[in-house]
Amino acid sequence: MESFSLYEHCVMLPYDNKIKENSLPFSCGNYDLDDFFQNESELYEKELLGKTYCWITESRPHRIVALFTLANDSIKTINLDKSTRNRFNRNINNSKRGRSYPAALIGRIGVNKGLQGFNIGSQLIDFIKKWFRHEDNKTGCRFLVVDAYNNPRTLKFYENNNFKYLYRTEEEEELYFKTTMTRMMYFDLKK
């Protein structure tokens, strides 16, 4: 299969109107995600609720290959039942265990529908993992978290990228979040 490397063919930039004006229109094939990137991401940024980045091709015409939005978050162990909390805490050095651990939320991810099937989503996740372990990172951040759409394709994607379920079952998660539309998943940046 032909390959496409984000690192080789693209540049990553904060997503703004200048990018939209200088790039071909973007669609990942999901209406909600497209709408978010087209109309809402700027507002999120202005309100300091999320920052969106894009990978665009270096060659012209510039094509937006992928977009993703990040926000600060945390994993609060008070929202976990005792056995899940104990299981989760095994990730953490005994002397540093607490009620809350810093995390970065991957709020949205979209890959250009014309470039799906090139492993770009996983390349993106791999980049984010490394980016948050990079020495220039400004804050302590132990986990990546994602509230993944509860469908087999999306869950499989995050499982393949070594994310784990915060709650063992949908039922357990529903007790805390009152919905089974999404599943909270995390990746330990120490692993």
Partner 1 sequence: MAISIKSSPVLTGITAKRFDALVEQNKSIDARTLSETEKNQIDNVLMKSKNFSF
Q: List the one residue from 18, 76, 99, 113 that touches partner 1 (CB under 8 A).
A: 18
Q: Cβ(113)–Cβ(153) under 8 Å?
A: no
* Those residues with Cβ within 8 angstroms of residue 191's Cβ, 6 or more apart along the chain or in another chain: 91, 162
If one asks whether residue 13 binds partner 1 (CB under 8 A), the answer comes out as yes
Helix 152-160 and helix 120-131: axis angle, to 10°? 50
d(CA 168, CA 84) in angstroms, rounded, equals 7
Identity of the residue, 164 or 168, whose beta carbon is nearer to partner 1 in the bound complex: 164
- Per-residue string for binding with partner 1, 112-151, x by CB under 8 A? ---------------x--xx-xxxx---------------
CB of 5 to partner 1, least distance (A): 11
Q: Cβ(190)–Cβ(142) under 8 Å?
A: yes
If one asks whether residue 7 binds partner 1 (CB under 8 A), the answer comes out as yes
Contact residues toward partner 1 (CB under 8 A) are 7, 11-13, 18, 22, 58, 62, 93, 127, 130-131, 133-136, 189-191
